[in-house]
């Protein structure tokens, strides 16, 4: 791969050198990520009311979810090359505009077709916000400040999916489903205005040809896999149709791999996996994100079906996990500075997985306090693990390769979070079949927690392959 120099345009954007500057930059990016992640989960509680408004069966409204996922899958890989060509600030602000405009159009929708088109527009904006936002941090924040900056960005991304369902219930109950989209408007406007003076315009000086063939193949692959995962998690389609969609996605992926081996500038550069730290973070992080994606799906369902509690009560239990993630922000940097990335990912990975598996022991007779404490601790440790993965991946990535790396990493991140929901649903269904349960019972949920924990535990020996001094500069261990 030919190297290309990176330039920062002389437009009015201050250099991110002080703690105040990188926190402002990180908070602007975090607000966009929070808006995106919140919207991805808040919709589920409103689907029945939306179906009534449009005069269709509730099952048909799942197209509002799948259209957004497909849009994400197709456009996330293109984010890096688009940012390199047009500039990170320009693309980031445009992404906020597209997402906010799509939100307004969703709220104004008078038919399912209009809603789907609006969700696709939202997905295009959402596909650009996360990877380009991460790229901005990597290119403008000093290495020793990156851990602290990344925690400011990642925590809202973990909190959004957790508070989405209860917040959606409040909107639907006391206002109307339209407000689950309108809530994005003030966040989007604020993000757009603040991005102007506080986000740097960074892009490559050398323009390369856009990989249209790779764009089509990667979109077909990721769209097929994510759509197939979503179909499997709902169980609304036949096994044959779900298998066909997944097979088409897999075949497109194989075709893309052949294409990427010879393409000069592949949209998802597989050569990045030759970088040891990046490769370890991708593989281990992907296994960990399976349980991370499953938790917001599995825990509320277990509480409502297995414990018989209300949606509000289950939301509070799930929210305790988000509270742990928020508290982690204050201590992540000192922990990594004290122990380094390798020790943190090893031992924290074990503890976080054990706490995930402890949910298999939850029973209605338990006092609520220990459940809250375990979920809080689990959210804390899992958030620490994700932050460490997201930083150590880029320790040896050179600046010209940052855009390709962020697109690649975000693609796998989104794919595995969706796979987590599918995995949880598949294990539940298998356990129900083996135990001859007509509906999911507590024992089925226990099996799901244990299986997901065992899958996540595979990430620990992968993390052991990290060098003892991996990421020391980013952790501030040489100060």
CB atoms within 10 A of CB 435: 11
Exposed/middle/buried for residue 182 (C-beta within 10 Å: 0-12, 13-18, 19+): middle
**C-alpha–C-alpha distance, residues 130 and 142, integer Å:** 19
* pLDDT for 200: 73
Model's pTM, two decimal places?
Answer: 0.78
Q: Are 102 and 125 in contact (CB under 8 A)?
A: yes
Per-residue confidence in pLDDT tens, the chain, 479 aa = 433 333 444 333 444 444 456 677 777 887 777 777 777 666 766 666 777 787 776 556 666 766 787 788 788 888 887 887 788 788 888 999 999 999 899 888 888 888 888 988 998 888 888 788 778 877 777 777 777 777 777 666 666 666 666 676 677 667 777 888 888 888 888 888 888 777 777 766 666 788 888 889 988 888 888 777 767 766 656 778 888 888 998 999 999 999 988 888 888 888 889 999 999 999 999 999 888 878 777 887 788 778 877 666 766 777 787 778 778 877 888 898 889 899 999 999 999 999 989 999 998 888 888 988 998 898 889 889 988 998 898 888 887 778 788 888 888 887 787 778 778 878 888 888 898 888 788 888 999 999 999 999 999 999 999 998 887 877 777 65
* pLDDT for 418: 73
Dihedral (CA of 28, 29, 32, 33) sign: negative
Q: Which residues contact 48 (CB under 8 A, 6 or more apart)?
A: 58, 61
Q: What is the DSSP letter of 267?
A: S
> Which run of H or E residues covers position 292?
helix 276-301
* pLDDT for 13: 40
> Which run of H or E residues covers position 215?
helix 212-234
- Measured in whole angstroms, how far is the alpha carbon of residue 49 from the centre of its chain? 27
* pLDDT for 16: 45
* pLDDT for 1: 40
CB atoms within 10 A of CB 190: 15
CA-nearest of 38, 152, 202 to 391 is 152
Q: Which residues contact 124 (CB under 8 A, 6 or more apart)?
A: 71, 75, 95, 98, 102
> In the chain, helix, strand, coil percent, each to 5?
80, 0, 20
**C-alpha–C-alpha distance, residues 386 and 289, integer Å:** 8
């Amino acid at each position: 791969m030919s190297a290309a120099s990176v330039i920062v345009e002389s437009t009015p954007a201050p250099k991110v050198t002080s703690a105040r500057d990188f926190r402002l930059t990180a908070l602007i990016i975090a607000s966009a990520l929070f808006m995106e992640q919140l919207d991805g989960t808040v919709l589920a509680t409103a689907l029945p009311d939306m179906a009534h408004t449009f005069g269709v069966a509730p099952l048909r409204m799942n197209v509002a979810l799948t259209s957004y996922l497909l849009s994400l899958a197709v456009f996330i890989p293109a984010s890096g090359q688009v940012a390199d060509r047009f500039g990170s600030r320009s693309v980031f602000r445009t992404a906020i505009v597209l997402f906010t405009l799509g939100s307004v159009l969703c709220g104004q929708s008078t038919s399912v077709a209009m809603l789907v088109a609006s969700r696709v527009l939202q997905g295009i904006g959402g596909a650009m916000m996360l990877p380009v936002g991460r790229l901005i941090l990597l290119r403008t924040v000093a290495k020793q400040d990156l851990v602290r900056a990344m925690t400011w960005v990642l925590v809202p991304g973990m909190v959004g999916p957790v508070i989405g369902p209860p917040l959606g219930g409040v909107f639907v109950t006391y206002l109307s489903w339209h407000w689950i989209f309108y809530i994005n408007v003030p966040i989007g406007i604020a993000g757009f205005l603040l991005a102007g003076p506080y986000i740097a315009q960074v892009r490559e000086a050398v323009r390369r040809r856009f990989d249209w063939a790779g764009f089509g193949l990667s979109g077909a692959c990721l769209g097929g896999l994510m759509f197939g995962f979503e179909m499997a998690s709902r169980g609304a389609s036949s096994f044959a149709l779900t298998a066909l969609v997944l097979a088409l996605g897999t075949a497109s992926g194989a075709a893309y791999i052949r294409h990427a081996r010879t393409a000069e500038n592949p949209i998802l550069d597989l050569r990045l996996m030759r970088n040891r730290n990046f490769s370890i973070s991708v593989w281990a992080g992907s296994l960990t994100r399976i349980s991370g994606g499953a938790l917001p799906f599995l825990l509320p369902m277990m509480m409502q079906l297995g414990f018989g509690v209300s949606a509000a009560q289950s939301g509070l239990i799930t929210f305790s996990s988000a509270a742990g993630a928020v508290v982690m922000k204050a201590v992540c940097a000192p922990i990594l500075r004290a122990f380094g990335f390798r020790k943190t990912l090893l031992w924290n990975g074990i503890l976080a997985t054990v706490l995930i598996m402890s949910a298999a022991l939850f029973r209605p007779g338990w006092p609520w306090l220990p459940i809250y404490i375990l979920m809080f601790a689990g959210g804390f440790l899992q958030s620490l693990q994700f932050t460490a993965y997201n930083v150590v991946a880029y320790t040896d990535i050179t600046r010209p390769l940052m855009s390709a790396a962020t697109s690649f990493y975000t693609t796998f991140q989104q794919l595995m979070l969706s796979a987590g929901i599918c995995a949880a649903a598949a294990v539940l269904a298998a356990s129900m079949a083996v135990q001859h349960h007509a509906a999911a019972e507590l024992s089925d949920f226990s099996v799901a927690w244990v299986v997901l924990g065992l899958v996540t535990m595979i990430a620990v020996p992968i993390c052991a392959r990290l060098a003892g001094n991996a990421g020391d500069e980013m952790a501030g261990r040489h100060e």
